[in-house]
Every structure is written in structure tokens, then in C-alpha cells.
Amino acid sequence: MALLPILVAPDPRLKKVSSPVGQVNDDLRRLIDDMFETLYEAPGIGLAAPQVGVLQRVVVVDVTPEGSTRQPHALINPELAWVSGQDDSYNEGCLSLPEHYANVVRPAEIRVSYLNRDGQQQCLEAKGLLATCVQHEIDHLDGILFVDRISALKRNMILRKLLKAKKQGNLATA
């Protein structure tokens, strides 16, 4: 197991579209284990492979509060199979946009199909924070950050501050 460095915006790797996973093998399972370790240590509720510099369609999610029984989900090649007509708004954060938050509107309920860590096709129905988090993670696989879903004014304010912090060496970069 290993902790992986998390990329902070602006970073060109966070803007790339990730490639589908071809084969679910031990190397991929090792990446997933390292991503969970990194997620719990951060701590966060979700992590996408491009955030650790791996441009493959893999995400890990666990929205259970610290202290309660863990409910880890590893989603390989996740695809939204259905989204509700009703929307929800959450004050979102992102480990690649540290210390910045904004309200983001997304479908309230989703169905997502994916491969699990055994390579089996699965379907997950989600609402609430889990639905929001899974959509936020799939966005990362398409090179989209939550700031791309808010006003240009707020987006540029956040990205300017992160760039400045990076230049001053205030943020850990990978």
C-alpha cells in the first residue's frame, strides 16, 4: 500500500479525458488499494485516478462519515445509465482545489454502470451525497472540475488563488 500525491489545479493532467480500462488485473487492484489509502488519509469522500496522475477511468468513493462502518465503492469504467429530472445542489469541495468550495447543481438521483474490482459488470443506484460524489468523480475522468460547473467569475477567482499559492510554494504539488 502507498499514499499517492494528489495533483492540485491548475495542472494539465486534470483537464485530460482518461482512457477506459482494458483489463481488470492485479496492477489495477493495487492502484485501487492505493487510491483508497490516499482517500482515507486525505480525508475525502471520493478520488479519481487522474487526480493521482493516472489517466485511466477508475474512481473510488466512500461517503460514510469517519468512525462508522466503511462502505467503499471502486468503480471501473463508470457510465451514467440514468439521471433524474430533479436536481440537487451541494456545497462541493475537491482535493485538487484545496480549501475552495462552491454550490454545484447536478441530477439528484443516478444509476451508474461499471466494472467492480473483480471485473464484473455492476449497477449502482444513488441519491444524496453519494450521487453527487459519483458524478463529481466521473467528471474528473472527462477532465471536468466542479469549477467548470459554476460561474466564470467564481471559477477564475478560485483558479487565480490556487495559481498564486502554487507560485508562492504554499501548496504541495505533485
Q: Is 41 a catalytic residue?
A: no
- Phi first, then psi, for residue 168 (nearest 5°) are -85, -5
Binder of residue 158, out of Ni ion, ligand GNR, none (CB less than 5 to 8 A by kind): none
Q: Is the peptide bond before 72 cis (omega within 30 degrees of 0)?
A: no
14 DSSP 8-state letter? G
Q: In this structure, are residues 116 and 81 in contact, taking their beta carbons and an 8 Å threshold? A: no
137 binds ligand GNR (CB under 6 A): yes
Residue from 8, 35, 48, 162 binding ligand GNR (CB under 6 A) = 48
31 binds Ni ion (CB under 5 A): no
Q: Which stretch binds ligand GNR (CB under 6 A): 78-86, 120-128, 132-140, 157-165?
A: 132-140
Q: Which stretch binds Ni ion (CB under 5 A): 2-10, 94-102, 117-125, 157-165?
A: 94-102
SS (HEC) of 121-173: EEEEEEEHHHHHHHHHHHHHHCCCCHHHHCCHHHHHHHHHHHHHHHHCCCCCC
Binder of residue 38, out of ligand GNR, Ni ion, none (CB less than 5 to 8 A by kind): none
Residue with Cβ nearer Ni ion (49 or 94): 94
Q: How far is the CB of 119 from Ni ion (least distance, A)?
A: 25
Residue with Cβ nearer Ni ion (58 or 94): 94
145 binds ligand GNR (CB under 6 A): no
